[in-house]
């Protein structure tokens, strides 16, 4: 669906951020982008969304990024935003300011698309319920907290059902309940999903692939198991949560050779509990 072909990106001082990268995002992909510099992950998101030049005008690039064979940056901006939705960490960028209620703000893109009022009401009510933000429906978006505005921005993008949904640091304003609600929605999402988040373990049970940016290169782990093996071999360096570090220490001490087939917490915790009993 999206092809990154021999793509390089340089900052204002001509220092390479990405160097000759080639990656494909498939139609039903679930991809987590990781980087020791979150801004570099954000730059990849903008490159995929076709908004890199607008957001980082001083950056220069080589290579090409195409969506269904067409260079992303050549797709008319309004049409591109319907195909590829980018949700930035700063949700204020997505709040239009023209609607007086959260319900109206979320409904705006559907109104502009010419959908029937009854269908709009049903869709907005459904997304409010799924994100458990029904109580915000009648509120003024300008009076919301940062976390509430971020949820409204997410709802505004998800309700449009773009072909590709790009979430940049989505856990910044989410508590565990909010994250679980978001995961529930995303698991039933038909399009491709790209997530750039400094916390890979929030998405380990969801992502199919991990794209790791290290210095100016990209390495791809095709599954959570590959990601674990890459960490264990030192091919990918990543700061581990304390419970994973504890499991690895116990594994080494007790010579356990069974590696859980997920990065989610429960299997590790069960394994640790079994060893300690």
- Concatenate the DSSP letters of all residues of 131-168 into one string: TT-GGGTTS-GGGS-HHHHHHHHHHHHHTT--SEEEEE
Q: What pLDDT does 103 receive?
A: 93
| pTM listed for this prediction | 0.75
- Spatial distance between the Cα atoms of 153 and 56, rounded to a whole number of angstroms: 22
Each residue's pLDDT tens digit, 18-74: 888 888 888 888 998 888 788 888 888 888 888 888 888 889 988 888 988 888 878
167 close to 193: Cβ distance less than 8 angstroms: yes
Each residue's pLDDT tens digit, 112-146: 878 899 999 999 999 898 888 899 999 998 888 87
Each residue's pLDDT tens digit, 221-235: 777 777 767 766 766
**In angstroms, what CA-CA distances link 113 with 108, 109, 119, 123?**
9, 6, 12, 13
Strand positions, DSSP E, 11-155: 16-25, 30-35, 60-67, 70-71, 84-87
Look at residue 219 and give its three-state secondary structure: strand
Q: What pLDDT does 246 receive?
A: 58
Q: Which residues are bridge partners to 16 per DSSP?
A: 10
Q: What pLDDT does 255 receive?
A: 53
163 close to 191: Cβ distance less than 8 angstroms: yes
- Looking at domain 2-94+161-235, its CATH class is alpha beta
> Which conformational region is residue 264 in: left (phi greater than 0), alpha (psi within -120 to 50 degrees), or beta?
beta
What is the widest separation between alpha-carbon atoms in the chain?
A: 63
Residue 220, H or E segment: strand 217-221
162 close to 191: Cβ distance less than 8 angstroms: yes
Q: What pLDDT band is residue 275 in, cutting at 50, 70 and 90?
A: very low
163 close to 84: Cβ distance less than 8 angstroms: yes
Domain ranges of the chain: 2-94+161-235, 240-277
Average pLDDT on 257-269 reads 47
Find how far residue 64's CA is from the centre of its chain.
21
């Amino acid at each position: 669906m999206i092809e990154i072909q021999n793509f390089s990106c340089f900052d204002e001082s001509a220092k390479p951020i990405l160097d000759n990268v080639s990656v494909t995002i498939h139609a039903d992909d679930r991809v987590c982008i990781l980087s020791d510099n979150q801004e570099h992950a954000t730059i990849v998101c903008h490159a995929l969304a076709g908004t890199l030049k607008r957001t980082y005008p001083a950056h220069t690039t080589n290579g090409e990024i195409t969506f269904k064979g067409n260079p992303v940056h050549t797709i008319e901006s309004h049409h591109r935003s319907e195909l590829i939705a980018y949700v930035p960490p700063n949700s204020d960028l997505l709040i239009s300011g023209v609607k007086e209620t959260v319900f109206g703000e979320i409904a705006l893109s559907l109104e502009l698309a010419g959908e029937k009022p009854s269908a709009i009401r049903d869709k907005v009510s459904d997304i409010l319920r799924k994100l458990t933000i029904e109580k915000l429906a009648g509120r003024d978006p300008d009076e919301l907290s940062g976390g509430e505005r971020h949820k409204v921005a997410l709802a505004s993008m998800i309700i449009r059902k773009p072909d590709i949904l790009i979430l940049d640091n989505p856990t910044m304003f989410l508590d565990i309940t909010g994250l679980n609600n978001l995961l529930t929605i995303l698991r039933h999402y038909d399009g491709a999903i790209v997530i750039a988040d400094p916390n890979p373990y929030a998405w380990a049970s969801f992502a199919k692939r991990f794209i790791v940016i290290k210095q100016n290169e990209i390495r791809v782990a095709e599954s959570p198991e590959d990601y674990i093996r890459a960490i264990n071999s030192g091919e990918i360096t990543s700061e581990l949560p304390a419970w994973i570090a504890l499991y690895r220490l116990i594994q080494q001490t007790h010579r356990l050779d069974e590696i859980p087939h997920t990065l989610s917490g429960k299997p590790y915790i069960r394994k640790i509990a079994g060893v300690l009993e």
